[in-house]
Structure 1
Amino acid sequence: MNNAEFGPIGLLVIQATSLCNLDCSYCYLPDRQKRKIFDLELLPTLLERIYESPFWGPQLSILWHAGEPLTLPTSYYDEATAILQRHTADLQAQGVVIEQHVQTNATLINADWCDCFRRNQIVVGVSVDGPEDIHDAHRRFRNQRGSHALTMKGIKTLQAHEIPFHAIAVITSAAMEDPERVYRFFRDQGIHHIGFNVEEQEGVHTQSSMQGQSREKQYRSFLSHFWDCNRRDGFPIHLREFDQVLGMIQGEQRLLQNEMNRPYAILSVDAQGNFSTFDPELLSVETERYGLFNLGNIREVSLEAAASSSTFQRLLADMRSGMSRCLKTCDYYGFCGGGNGSNKYWEHGTLDASETCSCRFSSQIPVDVVLERLELESATSP
């Protein structure tokens, strides 16, 4: 095993709880109605597993995600911060940077949560899909009531308390009809840092409203219109998809490898302490081809020992074979680094595959749109 090809672990995704107060139609998680809670007494063990391994690095972002983290009390994150401070003080004194992040649907955010985010220095990500009808078409409570009003109340509370945040919008067919309206929503609501996650076929969500060549054509037009609206207003919105492409063009960043397919670049841990690597979406998922993607439980198995297991070796071999296929056949490899294993599995039934629908939406179309708009602007500028 060549540890130089692994890690460093830069992202630790912890499922604080499996419970979500919403029942979004496109969610890939199977047990979001169950209230399993990550026992914070395991957090020191988890940290020890990371820092006893050869895979740790100079920066670690801890993301509380996969379920709705705010269904737990603020005291949970106060305790987590205290544990982190006690068990990583020496590392941080040596220059290791450790951050906490949370991804939330914002429906539960109030002044107490804003105080919690501030005192624990938690970086906030919010999920909001756009105008009310588009958002509520998929993001509903279990009684089928839409969540948009409460999400926007939470966002306004963050803004009133001057808590910075970024947003993730799941793009569905409902957004395709009026890109100008979607753009105006984010601009006018002061949501200026956004990433678009196109609805995917993944996990228990076996169908997507964005499947098919006609949807890809629509999305290309949608992104082009979004660029034009943004350009017209002086680019008030930082769209992740545009910024990534521009960063590579301008030489500010160079993709060496996709962290989703580099072993131990990401470590994901569920509420029961089971862990996996590669895509967080693979955690605790039962599949026909691979069984569980889990590599063990942090109580019982070290990260290095798990990397020697037959389960891991099979996943790694198929992942690398799929990346090799991408390298040989795809002109966009330098941008995406070989694609995401979860998308390959859910679309092709194996990690040993190349192009996916997700590749086209997340990489190919954004690259094409940015290059087309830049060429058009260059041709028409004085």
Structure 2
Amino acid sequence: MPPITVMLKPASGLCNMRCRYCFYADEMAHRTTESYGIMQQDTLEAIIKRVLAFAEGSCSFMYQGGEPTLAGLSFFEKALELQKKWNVNRVTIANSLQTNGYAINEEWAEFFARNHFLVGISLDGPKDIHDANRVDAQGKGTYNRVMHAIQLLQKHKVEFNILTVVTRQAARSTGKIYGFFQRNGFAYQQYIPCLDPWEEGTQTPYSLTAKDFEQHLKLLFDQWYQQAVRGELQYNRYFFNLLAILNGQMPEACEMRGVCGRQFVVEADGSVYPCDFYMMDEYRLGNFVTDDFETIERRRQELAFVETSARIKESCKGCKWFALCRGGCRRNWEPVTGPDPRNVFCSAYQEFLEYSFPRLQQLSRMLQGRRFG
């Protein structure tokens, strides 16, 4: 059995912020039970026990939301206790957490440092850009609180990545955002294209067009490349995955593998889903409290979730960039059952790869032998 990664939603879709572009709020609105509340301790124990009995070699527990810190610090202390209790196969365990940073204080930062958590914290850039969409329940910007949280992580030497949602405004402010991150020493960055709601054709003030995304990628790459050739290579998830492919390595990002992975995304009631973007009733695979891995895998096969993602679309056949792009994330193809589905950002990726490929090849040669996964 390969290493297992389990993503848990300890607070379901509950959140202490009201980000205007939140894809999970939209996702919850498309299922019978919008929120399952806070995960109960017996549910947590059942999940950890079942996962660790099945795991071999290594196992990663990723906590996301909603906002996972709403489960309280005691929840995570208990999770670590249960991991030790049920680690019957003596696997290597890693823990990570993705947070909006709103509730992070000294106690949280000390806990992350002491227990070697990798933290992903959401920050969309400088104050005006961040506060345009990342607001609290009263509609007020959250920039100051998030920056304070980051300062606490830095103070306690917690390993963290910056997660940035690329909206239309952000794409048109790429240079400003990247410069801000450099001035603050944020060397580990992940940029996430903003998703439109599930309703077909929906357009919002934050909707990201393919053209804006193309310009974002080009400008971001220009600045990142200049640092890389000076010997100041910084982590950018997308660019690192491209370098991995060019060096004959398996990309870490599932959307760049050409097929969805065997993911286990677990709601607060123990329900299991194949992907964070598909936590809706029709995609439910089972429940870790009552179902074993074999039952869950049978349901995955019945859904043909992975198989559907692996089908090479007509628009990809013959594309010179397919080996690097692999078609992208299934969520950006919806509806995948159409006659000729196309990734909404297809033209952006094509134009960007045409623009950047010679320099990517150069970096690939310079960094040959390095692992990018």
1:371 aligns with 2:364: no
Post-superposition shift, 1:161?
1.6
Contact 2:244 2:251 in 1 (8 A): no
* CA spacing shift, 1:97–1:265, aligned 2, 3 Å: farther
- Selected match of 2:219 from 194, 197, 222: 222
After TM superposition, the structure 1 = structure 2 runs for residues 81-96 of structure 1, keeping only pairs within 5 Å, are 81-88=80-87, 90-92=88-90, 96=91
Residue deviations 1:28-87, cap 9 Å, x none?
A: 11359957111231233223443555xx44322111002111223211111110001110
1:119 aligns with 2:118: no
Once residues 351 and 15 of structure 1 are traced to their aligned partners in structure 2, the CA distance between those partners, rounded to angstroms, is 31
Contact 2:39 2:71 in 1 (8 A): no
Give secondary structure in 2 for the equivalent of 1:305: helix
Post-superposition shift, 1:267?
0.5
* CA spacing shift, 1:211–1:108, aligned 2, 3 Å: closer
Once residues 153 and 309 of structure 2 are traced to their aligned partners in structure 1, the CA distance between those partners, rounded to angstroms, is 42
Structure 2: segments with no counterpart, 5+ residues:
365-373
* CA spacing shift, 1:355–1:184, aligned 2, 3 Å: same
Letter in 2 for 1:47: I
Partner residue, 2:277: 281
* CA spacing shift, 1:229–1:40, aligned 2, 3 Å: farther
Letter in 2 for 1:300: T
Partner residue, 2:169: 174
* CA spacing shift, 1:255–1:177, aligned 2, 3 Å: closer
Give secondary structure in 2 for the equivalent of 1:121: coil
Q: TM-score, normalised by structure 2?
A: 0.82
* CA spacing shift, 1:308–1:326, aligned 2, 3 Å: farther
* CA spacing shift, 1:63–1:202, aligned 2, 3 Å: farther
* CA spacing shift, 1:364–1:270, aligned 2, 3 Å: farther
Contact 1:322 1:353 in 2 (8 A): no
1:21 aligns with 2:11: no
State, as a whole percentage, how many aligned pairs show the same letter. Answer: 24
Structure 1: segments with no counterpart, 5+ residues:
1-6, 287-291
Post-superposition shift, 1:350?
3.8
* CA spacing shift, 1:217–1:298, aligned 2, 3 Å: closer
Residue deviations 1:178-235, cap 9 Å, x none?
A: 4332111101111110011011224489546454443244224433443355358753
1:322 aligns with 2:316: no
Post-superposition shift, 1:351?
8.6
Contact 2:333 2:344 in 1 (8 A): no
* CA spacing shift, 1:147–1:375, aligned 2, 3 Å: same
Post-superposition shift, 1:354?
4.9
1:357 aligns with 2:347: no
1:135 aligns with 2:164: no
* CA spacing shift, 1:78–1:318, aligned 2, 3 Å: same
Once residues 260 and 214 of structure 2 are traced to their aligned partners in structure 1, the CA distance between those partners, rounded to angstroms, is 34
Q: Higher mean Cα deviation, 235-244 or 144-153?
A: 235-244
Post-superposition shift, 1:120?
2.5
Give secondary structure in 2 for the equivalent of 1:357: coil
Once residues 187 and 343 of structure 1 are traced to their aligned partners in structure 2, the CA distance between those partners, rounded to angstroms, is 30
Partner residue, 1:302: 292
Partner residue, 2:241: 244
Letter in 1 for 2:4: G
Contact 2:64 2:97 in 1 (8 A): yes
Give secondary structure in 2 for the equivalent of 1:191: coil
Contact 1:170 1:196 in 2 (8 A): yes
Contact 2:116 2:158 in 1 (8 A): no
Give secondary structure in 2 for the equivalent of 1:125: strand
Contact 1:242 1:370 in 2 (8 A): no
Q: Higher mean Cα deviation, 136-145 or 228-237?
A: 228-237
Aligned residue pairs total 354
Contact 1:170 1:198 in 2 (8 A): yes
Contact 2:102 2:145 in 1 (8 A): yes
Contact 1:125 1:167 in 2 (8 A): yes
Post-superposition shift, 1:301?
2.1
Give secondary structure in 1 for the equivalent of 2:298: coil
- Selected match of 2:330 from 330, 333, 341: 341
Q: Give the alignment's Cα RMSD to 1 decimal.
A: 3.3
Give secondary structure in 2 for the equivalent of 1:170: strand
* CA spacing shift, 1:171–1:275, aligned 2, 3 Å: same
Post-superposition shift, 1:100?
0.6
After TM superposition, the structure 1 = structure 2 runs for residues 193-232 of structure 1, keeping only pairs within 5 Å, are 193-203=188-198, 206-207=202-203, 209-227=206-224, 230-231=227-228
